[in-house]
Amino acid sequence: MTVAESWNLVAGGPSRANLRKGHLLEGPVVTVNRAIDIVERGIDVDFAAFSDGPGLAWRGLDLERHWRPGMILWVSAGVTQGTVKLPDGTKRGVPGPPYAKIWDQALPASVGFRLMPYGILKDEAAESGTRTAFTTFCAFHGILRFKPKAIRILCMDMAGSWVEGWTEETCHAYDMEKNGLDRWTHERRVMEREINKARSEGIRVEVMSPAPEVVSA
């Protein structure tokens, strides 16, 4: 594939159900997590991004069934996190194996992958605290590596559930109780900042949530 001027980034928002080929720019398509399922509607996916290990979305949601020959996975360049128990009974976080090693061991030889940018972000929904960079952020920066002139971000609705079988309200309540994370507020503010930065550097960034098709009588 030659270097393209225009790219598409398809997130996993609810408006994905309305996505059609005509919504896309001519150029590579990068999907975020479960958005890889757009291949079932005849949309070609060039790169599928995952910031977690293969045990979660890839296998946990059976997303591997959507892989097609030639599709490259973008996976996190980070390391997993584990814990050790100290003699006094307390626990301490320690680095685990790199995600790349885990993916390499989990994938058949026919599936290739490349490392994707990653990092730690300030929690934009709280006065203090940090969060691991989320997949849409990482994939957006993965595209920026190719110095595009235009990026169209689709289905980044910042709405809906993110655990299979749960409602958005249940997901939010669980995250607030466990992590104190207002996920969509945090991710929306981060992406607004990153998009504005890219635009200030001369990149045309479009954001689109496809609407349902209107069928005339």
Residue 62: give its domain's CATH number: 3.40.50
User: Is 173 contained in some domain?
Assistant: no
What digits encode the pLDDT tens for the residues 156-173?
A: 998 876 667 767 777 777
Structural domain of residue 34, as residue ranges? 6-159+188-208
Domain count of the chain? 1
What does the H/E/C string look like for the chain?
CCCCCEEEEECCCHHHHHCCHHHCCCCCEEEEHHHHHHHHHCCCCCEEEECCCCCCHHHHCCHHHHCCCCCEEEEECCEEEEEEECCCCCEEEEEEEEHHHHHHHHCCCCCCEEEECCCEEECCCCCCCEEECCHHHHHHHHHHCCCCCEEEEECCCCCCCCCCCCCHHHHHHHHHHHCCCCHHHHHHHHHHHHHHHHHHCCCEEEEECCCCCCCCC
What digits encode the pLDDT tens for the residues 84-134?
A: 777 777 777 777 888 999 999 999 999 999 999 988 899 888 877 888 899
